[in-house]
Structure 1
Amino acid sequence: MENDTDENLVAQVAAGDRRSFRCLMERHMPLAIRVAQRVTGNTADADDIAQEAFLRVWTRAGSFDPARARFTTWLYRIVTNLAIDQRRRPLHADIDAAAEVADGGPGPLSQIEAREQRRAVDAAIASLPARQRAAVVLFHMEGLSGREAAAVLELSEKAFESLLIRGRAAVKAACRARDETVGGARDAR
C-alpha cells in the first residue's frame, strides 16, 4: 500500500478503504497543514482546515478524476479553497504572535533584521487579496509550477501568471513602503 500511487489510493478510498485513506493522510497531511497555515497565517486554523480537507477527500474521493489532475493538485485545490474561505471569516487573535525564542544561530541584530524582514513580507502577503495570496503561497512557498498552481486555483496559466505578477508587485511595494517608513523613523532619531 505504501508503494501505491496517490491516484490508486484515492480509487481505493472511493471504495471505502480506510487503510488507503490513512496512507494518503500520512503522506500529505503535513503538506495540507503547511499550505493552510501559509494562506491563513494561523496555525490553529491550518490544522482544522487540513482535517476538513481530508474529510472532503474521504467523502468526495469518487469525484476525483486522475485524467484531469494529480491527487496533490486536487488536494491543494481543496486546502486552498478552504483556507481562502477561512480568511474571509472574522479574525481571532493568534497565539503564535507571542514572543519567539531565539536559537543559537546568527547574532541578535541579524536575527532581529531577518525576523523584521520576514514579518514585513508575511504582513504584505497577508494583506493581499485571497487569490493573489494563494498564488504567491503556492508558487513561491510551496514550489508548485505555474501550471500546477493554475490548476489548483482553476485558472488558465496566463490568468495565474497575471495574478502572481500582481501579487508580487503588491508585496514588493508594501515592503518598499515599510523600508522607507522604518528608514525615515531611524533618520529622525
Structure 2
Amino acid sequence: MSADDPDTRLIERVGRGEPAAMRALVAAKLPRILSLATRMLRDTPEAEDVAQEAFARTWRHAAAWRPGRARFDTWLHTVVLNLCRDRLRHRRAARGETLPDLADPSPDAEAMLIDTQRGKAVADAIAALPERQREAVLLVHYQDLSGAAAAEALGISVEALESLLARGRRNLRARLLSQEGER
C-alpha cells in the first residue's frame, strides 16, 4: 500500500520530527483541507482552526502511522470531517437545536468570493443538504476523492456512498429547480 500512497515518505519524515517535512505537508494539503472545512462550516476563521487542529494531530500521530490501512489523505480528510461535525454539533447544542443545521442566509467570506448568482445558489443548496449527503457531495465533487476513498473517510461502504450521492444530487437538483422557478 505504501507504493499506492504518495504521502508515505513524507509522513515517515514528519514522524521522525522533521519540521521541514511538516512544512511541506502543510503546504501540500492545506488548500484542500481548508476548502473542505470552509464549505462544511461556512465560517473561515473556524475552518482555519479545524485545519490547524488537523495538522497538530498529524504531527502528534505521524510516528505511529502505518501505511497499508488507509491512504494518509483519506485519514486526514476523516479527521477534518470529524472535527467539523463536532463543531456543527456544538453550534446546534449552543442554540438548543436538535434539527439538522440549515444554511445561514447571510453571505460569508466564501459566498462573497463566488462571483455568480448560480454559484451562490449551488453553495446554499449544498449547505442545506442533510449532513451525510453534504459530506459525500463535498468529498467526491469538491475534494476529488475517489468513491472508495470518500466511502472510507465517511466510514461507509461504496454502495452506501453511491446512495448518499444519488439522494444528494436529487435534493440539489430539486432545490435548484425550485429556486429557478421562484425567479
**TM-score band, normalised by the shorter chain?**
0.7 to 0.9
Contact 2:37 2:47 (8 Å CA) reproduced:
yes
Q: Which residues of structure 2 form unaligned runs of 5+?
A: 1-5, 93-103
TM-score, length-normalised on structure 2?
A: 0.79
The residue correspondences of 1:41-52 to structure 2 (distance < 5 A) are 41-52=42-53
Deviation string for 1:64-110 (max 9, x for gaps)? Answer: 33202221111111112212222333289765278x589xxxxxxxx
The separation in 2 between residues aligned to 1:70 and 1:159, in whole angstroms, is 20
- Rg bigger for which structure? 1
Q: Do 2:42 and 2:108's aligned partners in 1 also have CA atoms closer than 8 Å? A: no
Q: Percent identity?
A: 39
Q: What number of residue pairs does the alignment pair up?
A: 166
Runs (4+) of structure 1 moved beyond 4 Å? 91-95
**Which residues of structure 1 form unaligned runs of 5+?**
103-110, 183-189
- How much is the aligned-residue C-alpha RMSD, in angstroms? 2.4
Counterpart residue identity of residue 57, structure 1: T
- 1:80 is matched with 81
Contact 1:138 1:144 in 2 (8 A): yes
Matched, 1:136 2:137: yes
Provide the rounded CA distance (Å) in 2 between the counterparts of 1:97 and 1:24: 24
Question: Aligned partners of 2:162, 2:113: CA distance in 1, in Å?
Answer: 38
Partners of 2:176 and 2:165 lie apart in 1 by 16
Match of 2:109 among 96, 102, 106: 96
What TM-score, normalized to structure 1?
0.77
Cα contact 1:84–1:131 (8 A) shared by 2: no
